[in-house]
Chains A and B, each alone.
Chain A
Amino acid sequence: MKLKASLFSRRQFLNGLLAGGLGSLAASLLYPLLKSAIPPYREPDEVRLPLADYKDLAPGQVKDFAWDIKPGFLKKKADGSLVAFVGVCTHLDCNVSYQAEQRKFFCACHEGWYDEEGRNIAGPPPAPLRRLTVVMEAEEIVIKKEAPA
């Protein structure tokens, strides 16, 4: 039955109501399923390394550390300060290695290269290695997740 002024019949209205209701029910069930499929991500705010492990670094030398489940690299600059990189390729997420004799970072997955400042210089990487802030304390090196100023 359709009233003269109406845009649709009673049947169309009820069908729409039913389909809309069932659709929203399905969506409200799907949402928590998808939500629970991804655990929360918690990157550490900081990682503390004993200074003693890194005090013998010569200028220009690089040593690795654990940035949570990712590899990190600490490099001593010529002026004696430290720079920290996350050793994960910015192309497709492979772990990079430091090639000491060439003074470059290398990603074996698709042959990406970064110089010792972490700048992408060859191959597919689209961006430099991520840098972390290094703060020196009396007995410890504190590496914080923020990018250095």
Chain B
Amino acid sequence: MKISRLWAGFRSWLDERLGWGAVLGFLRQKKVPQTRHTMWAYTGSAILMFFIIQVVTGIILAFYYRPTLEEANASVARIMTDIPLGWAVRSIHSWSATFMIALVIVHLTSIWILKSYRRPREMTWMSGVLLLVCSLAFGFTGYLLPWDDLSLSATKVGTDIPRAIPVVGNFFTQLLRGGEDVSGDTLTRFFSFHICILPLALLAVLVIHIFLIQKLGMSLPLEAEIKKKKVREIPFWPNFIFREMILWLVLLGVLLSLAVFLPPGLGQAADLRAPAPEGIKPEWYFLFLFQTLKIFPAHVLFLSGETVAVLFILAGGLIFFFYPFLDNKPASAKGKVLTALAWLFIFYALALSIWSLLE
């Protein structure tokens, strides 16, 4: 009796200072539309769960990891063999990264196809594209840290790509590498990108992304919006949250099973002068870009094939970022053509990835 009154007193004391009653009230009243597309709305919070797992396991790995040319590979070997459950922490970090990126791709593809980016949610989409870039950059920088021969070659290629951009490209390559060539400096700075710059950048954009989603609410399916249909809604708390939690638990179970039974390996420490190992491939989410670079001719007209390929990728990224403005009449014929093109792109990316895997 007395304790509950104390607690209530403390809560009103806090509310007077923080004003969080308004936030809680908002969440208590928040509704989520329940349609046949609602399943895609569960992917966002699952990505967040994997991100939190990345933060926690990443902090533990950073306790032991040493980002120098001499010690990086050996320190990962120590995590895998000597630190209690270190192998499990690294395995979870590695698998959770894969799950996170996979879900980011599913999340984004569903929004792309369902056109949930349409007015007034353009900025939610744009912040989402920035989050995708951050996630891919996390994957790319993290891949180098074990410093084995595979990760070295992937980094040499990946950091050489900006060089093909006219005028500013060389500066970016040097900024990424910490010099003209991939060296120990590159490793140390990739660690700094991975654990300092990218987390700050991702969190900043994530705050905007989540704020916009709360402010604007979940989008309705296009056909429901046009026909002004009344859509069934369920309360965000507790109905929607509990459903989300079911998905989190299932995914957590799959993640832990995979992490325990299929921990990632560790190659020999990288030698800067060793030839690239045969049959090398980047992480699966870069395969279609990798295969594109491979089949691109050495010269296109007067430009090198590399420059053309990189300019294509850059242009594609920019179009993707501003996509909601391109698809400004989603219900019209133009909107349908753009959806068809989106499917075509998805098919291209899948086909090239599979081709690359089979090679």
> With A39-B178, A92-B157 known to touch, is A108 a contact of B306 (CB < 8 Å)?
no
B155 nearest CB neighbor, chain A only = A93
Q: Which residues of chain A are within 8 angstroms of B181 by Cβ–Cβ distance?
A: 69-70, 93
Q: Is the CB of A120 within 8 A of B274?
A: no
CB contacts (< 8 Å) of B293 on chain A: these are 92, 110, 124
| B340 in contact (CB, < 8 A) | no
For A118, what are the chain B residues with a Cβ–Cβ distance below 8 Å? none
A25 within 8 A of B: no
- CB contacts under 8 Å to B, within A95-121, are 95-97, 107-111, 120
A residues near B304, Cβ cutoff 8 Å = 126
Compute how far the CA of A39 lies from the CA of B294 in the bound complex, rounded to whole angstroms: 31
The listed residue (B153, B273, B276, B305) touching A66 by CB distance below 8 A is B273
Partner of B156, one of A34, A66, A92, A111: A92
- Interface: B70 (CB within 8 A): no
Contact B157 A94 (CB under 8 A): yes
Known: A39-B179, A92-B306. A108 touches B297 (CB 8 A): no
B307 CB to closest chain A CB, in angstroms?
9
A37 to B185, alpha carbons, bound, how many Å? 10
B178 — nearest CB in chain A belongs to which residue? A39
Whether the Cβ atoms of A109 and B298 lie closer than 8 Å is no
CA distance A113 to B303 in the complex (A): 20
A-B contact number at CB 8 A? 90
B277 touches A41 (CB 8 A): no
Asked whether B294 lies within 8 Å of A41 as measured between CB atoms, the reply is no
A30–chain B nearest beta-carbon distance, Å: 13
Q: Provide the B166-180 mask, 1 if CB < 8 A to any CB of A, else 0.
A: 000001001100111
Chain B's nearest CB lies how many Å from the CB of A31?
A: 13
**Which B residue's beta carbon lies closest to that of A97?**
B275
Report if A108-B294 is in contact (Cβ < 8 Å); known contacts: A41-B179, A93-B160.
Answer: no
Question: In the complex, are the beta carbons of B161 and A39 less than 8 A apart?
Answer: no
Residue of B nearest to A110 (CB): B294
The verdict on A38 contacting chain B, using a C-beta distance below 8 Å, is yes
By Cβ-Cβ distance, the 5 closest A-B pairs, closest first, are: A97-B275, A93-B160, A94-B276, A71-B273, A41-B180
Q: A39-B185, A108-B280, A126-B304 are in contact. List 15 more A-B contacts (CB 8 A).
A: A41-B179, A69-B272, A71-B273, A93-B157, A93-B159, A94-B276, A95-B156, A95-B274, A95-B276, A97-B275, A97-B276, A108-B278, A109-B153, A124-B296, A126-B298
